[in-house]
RNA sequence: GGGAGCAUAGCCAAGUGGUAAGGCAAAGGUCUGCAAAACCUUCAUUCCCCGGUUCGAAUCCGGGUGCUCCCUCCA
């Protein structure tokens, strides 16, 4: 709330409670939505790596005007539309290696809690009812605007909203909307209707995390009015501090413009996933600090893909050395240099989740490791094991995933055997022909001092 | 009109008072039967511009310029 970086101290030692605003499920998500999901997943992973128990709540907004509109267009019920897009969202999250939330509450299943919260606001005078609608009375809440750094006066002066005659003040926002004929609705004391957009997050976050919790996140666009409204509703109702730390990620831009439907420049997560896969996309996100705007370029994804390939290669090489390198004690020299890099790795993440710097440290580890493993005596199995464990710990914290051992069909292994023979007899023409055959099957064969080695082609 | 933020090499991107990280791309070298991978070397006298403060500024201050976002649904 200070609008600056603060030292993080959880409410309960050893435990972190965080809430991240989830998607409105009326279509597949674009790369901007993906950024938020990946970033907050990374925050969670860092906290976990530090030993905190993290309760992570990520909601689905499955009751909303846009969902109703889509439902009417395709002739399904709103909840069926929502259900379908929740499934596609979960698929996308898996591909991005985003951990499943501890709880994924849906608005439609929390109407009771929402009504109770509105009731409480009415009793305390923070809300009023007009013809079946209920609004929040912004003037009753003096701190309104503190999060986004705007004053009520300034907001009113710049208001672009068309004034709704029913409201006492143009800034007042809906807690409950009366349903129009035929729309999905629930019974409430004021009317048959549905909750306003902001109240759901207050109700659900407080249900699972308590009246006060540690971290609340979302895209920067949610800062105002959504999060501002959440604070007003929640603190109005409870009288205690709602959230201790707010985090907002920056937007993805395309050609210096915000992605938006009206500009027709939406890039879908699934689209990138199908062309590059989840890890390059995740890498691209994390290679920029979360509060910076991130500009989408085709070339940036290609670069990310290359970078991920380098990491995968290191993973493979170390894995190989763990099996084949000579036995021996862990090099103290290696240990010392890795520990130095480790310091900068963790410092980066501890200081406002500076993932780009953490990635830098990761690449330093890669270079160090390769250097050690390929120069002089070449490093021991212990060294490789140490490198592997460090690398794994760091990449798990960032949410990067690597393909394990390559498994290949019997036809490839017989070709490999033939090639081995050919190489022994120095029949290189035949060896090259066999390599081409293996490649045609989707694998790449490399010759190392310890024999032939197979990788996936383009993996 | 009000609020927030960004500008660093061919590209992506750190650095926020001590003399420009890292990745991708590119060039040369080592290794290799050839490759691949890896390693080594090279690649911004300079950080949008103009002033100022300082022994010292990409970093602080003042003034410009360009761009983005928010104030309406939005990650």
Distance, CA of A100 to CA of A58 (rounded, Å): 9
Distance, CA of A404 to CA of A316 (rounded, Å): 8
Angle made by CA atoms A395, A401, A403, in degrees to the nearest 5: 130
Cβ A14 vs Cβ A51: under 8 Å: yes
Distance, CA of A48 to CA of A414 (rounded, Å): 45
User: Which residues of A in 76-115 have their CB below 7 Å from strand B's atoms?
Assistant: none
Tokens of A116: 């109770």
At residue A272, the pLDDT reads 92
- A222 CB below 7 A from strand B atoms: yes
Q: Which nucleotide is nearest to A35 (CA to C1')?
A: B75
Cβ A228 vs Cβ A148: under 8 Å: yes
Give the residue carrying structure tokens 């103290």.
A332
At residue A459, the pLDDT reads 46
* Bases in strand B with any atom closer than 7 Å to a protein CB: 1-6, 11-15, 21-25, 32-40, 67-75
ipTM value of the model?
0.90
Nearest to A226 by CA among A20, A18, A86, A65: A20
Grouping H, G, I as helix, E, B as strand and the rest as coil, residue A360 is: helix
- A420 CB below 7 A from strand B atoms: no
User: Which residues of A in 231-290 have their CB below 7 Å from strand B's atoms?
Assistant: 249-253, 256-260, 284, 287-289
Nearest to A79 by CA among A65, A91, A63: A63
Q: How far is the CA of A112 from the C1' of B62 (A)?
A: 57
For residue range A99-145, list pLDDT tens digits in order: 999 999 999 999 999 999 999 999 999 999 998 999 999 888 888 88
Q: A451 has which bridge partners?
A: A448
Handedness of CA A385, A387, A393, A396 (dihedral sign): negative
Q: Which nucleotide is nearest to A22 (CA to C1')?
A: B75
Q: How far is the CA of A256 from the C1' of B65 (A)?
A: 17
Q: How far is the CA of A354 from the C1' of B44 (A)?
A: 24
Q: Which nucleotide is nearest to A260 (CA to C1')?
A: B74
Q: Which nucleotide is nearest to A198 (CA to C1')?
A: B73
Characterize the bridge pairing of strands A53-58 and A127-130: unpaired
**Second-level CATH architecture of A280-398:** Up-down Bundle (1.20)
Q: A215 has which bridge partners?
A: A18, A245
Tokens of A394: 């760091």
Q: How far is the CA of A357 from the C1' of B46 (A)?
A: 22
Cβ A354 vs Cβ A42: under 8 Å: no
Give the residue carrying structure tokens 């005078």.
A125
Residue A211: CB atoms within 10 A of its CB come to: 14
- A402 CB below 7 A from strand B atoms: no
Q: Which CATH number fits domain A15-249: 3.40.50.620, 3.40.50.1000, 3.90.1150.10, 3.30.2090.10?
A: 3.40.50.620
Q: Which residues of chain A have pLDDT under 70?
A: 1-4, 154, 156-165, 255-264, 376-377, 405, 458-459
Q: How far is the CA of A5 from the C1' of B60 (A)?
A: 19
Nearest to A137 by CA among A158, A157, A152, A115: A152
Q: How far is the CA of A58 from the C1' of B70 (A)?
A: 24
Give the residue carrying structure tokens 């600056």.
A4
At residue A393, the pLDDT reads 95
**Close Cβ partners of A188 (under 8 Å, ≥ 6 residues apart):** A115, A118, A176
- A434 CB below 7 A from strand B atoms: no
Distance, CA of A282 to CA of A395 (rounded, Å): 12
Q: Which nucleotide is nearest to A249 (CA to C1')?
A: B75
- A312 CB below 7 A from strand B atoms: no
At residue A314, the pLDDT reads 94
Tokens of A229: 């409204």
At residue A376, the pLDDT reads 65
- A157 CB below 7 A from strand B atoms: yes
Distance, CA of A206 to CA of A144 (rounded, Å): 19
Tokens of A336: 């010392």
Q: How far is the CA of A259 from the C1' of B68 (A)?
A: 12
Q: Which nucleotide is nearest to A159 (CA to C1')?
A: B71
């Amino acid at each position: 709330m200070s609008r600056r970086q603060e030292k993080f101290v959880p409410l309960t030692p050893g435990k972190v409670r965080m809430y991240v605003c989830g998607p409105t499920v009326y279509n597949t998500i674009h790369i901007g939505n993906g950024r938020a999901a990946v970033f907050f997943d990374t925050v969670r992973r860092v906290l976990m790596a530090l030993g905190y128990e993290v309760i992570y709540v990520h909601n689905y907004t499955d009751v909303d005007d846009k969902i109703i509109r889509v439902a009417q267009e395709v002739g399904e019920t709103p909840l069926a539309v929502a259900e379908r897009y929740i499934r596609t969202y979960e698929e996308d999250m898996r591909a991005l290696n985003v951990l499943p939330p501890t709880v994924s509450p849906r608005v439609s299943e929390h109407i009771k809690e929402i009504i109770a919260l509105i009731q409480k606001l009415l009793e305390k005078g923070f809300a009023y009812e007009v013809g079946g609608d209920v609004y929040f009375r912004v003037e009753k809440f003096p701190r309104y605007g503190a999060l986004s750094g705007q004053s009520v006066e300034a907001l009113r002066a710049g208001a672009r909203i068309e004034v709704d005659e029913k409201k006492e003040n143009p800034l007042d926002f809906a807690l409950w909307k009366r349903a129009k004929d035929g729309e999905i609705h629930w019974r409430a004391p004021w009317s048959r209707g549905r909750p306003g957009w902001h109240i759901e997050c207050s109700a659900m976050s407080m249900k699972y995390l308590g009246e006060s919790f540690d971290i609340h996140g979302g895209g920067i666009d949610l800062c105002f009015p959504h999060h501002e409204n959440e604070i007003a509703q929640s603190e109005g109702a409870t009288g205690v501090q709602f959230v201790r730390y707010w985090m907002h990620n920056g937007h993805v831009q395309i050609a210096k413009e915000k992605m938006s439907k009206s500009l027709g420049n939406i890039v879908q997560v699934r689209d990138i996933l199908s062309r590059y896969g989840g890890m390059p996309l995740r890498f691209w996100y994390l290679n920029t600090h979360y509060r910076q705007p991130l500009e989408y370029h085709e070339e940036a994804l290609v670069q990310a893909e290359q970078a991920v390939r380098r990491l995968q290669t290191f993973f493979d090489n170390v894995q190989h050395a763990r099996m084949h390198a000579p036995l021996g004690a862990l090099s103290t020299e290696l240990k010392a240099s890795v520990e130095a890099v480790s310091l900068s790795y963790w410092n980066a993440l501890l200081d406002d989740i500076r993932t780009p710097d953490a990635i830098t440290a990761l690449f330093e580890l890669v270079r160090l490791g390769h250097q050690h493993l390929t120069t002089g005596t070449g490093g021991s199995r212990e060294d490789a094991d140490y490198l592997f464990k460090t690398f794994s710990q760091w990449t798990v914290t960032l949410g990067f995933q690597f393909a394990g051992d390559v498994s290949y069909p019997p036809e490839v292994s017989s070709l490999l055997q033939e090639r081995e023979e050919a190489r022994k007899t120095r029949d290189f023409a035949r060896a090259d022909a066999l390599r081409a055959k293996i490649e045609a099957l989707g694998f790449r064969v490399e010759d190392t001092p310890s024999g032939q080695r197979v990788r996936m082609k383009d993996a």
